[in-house]
Amino acid sequence: LFQRFDNGNGILSLTEIDRVVVHWYPEFGTNRQAIIRAYRAADSDRSGFIELKEFQCLIALL
């Protein structure tokens, strides 16, 4: 799933995460604040991006 939405750089931006959420969790598609909160909580190294190891946490938070 991670690779499907990654643009090839090995990390997911908030824009790429939006695509994941709209595709797999359409009920959250209109709740941008919830997506942003989950994104920030999953970004454990505070890089501003979601790496593969953080992606599992993000999915669990959604």
Q: Could you tell me the residue ranges of all domains in the chain?
A: 2-61
At 3-62, the pLDDT tens digits run 988 999 999 999 998 888 888 878 776 788 888 999 999 999 999 999 999 999 998 987
SS3 at position 34: helix
CATH match of 2-61 with 1.10.238.10: yes
The pLDDT value given to residue 62:
78
The pLDDT value given to residue 29:
65
The 3-state DSSP composition of the chain as helix, strand, coil percent (nearest 5) reads 65, 5, 30
The pLDDT value given to residue 40:
96
Output the pTM of the full model. Answer: 0.83
The pLDDT value given to residue 34:
86
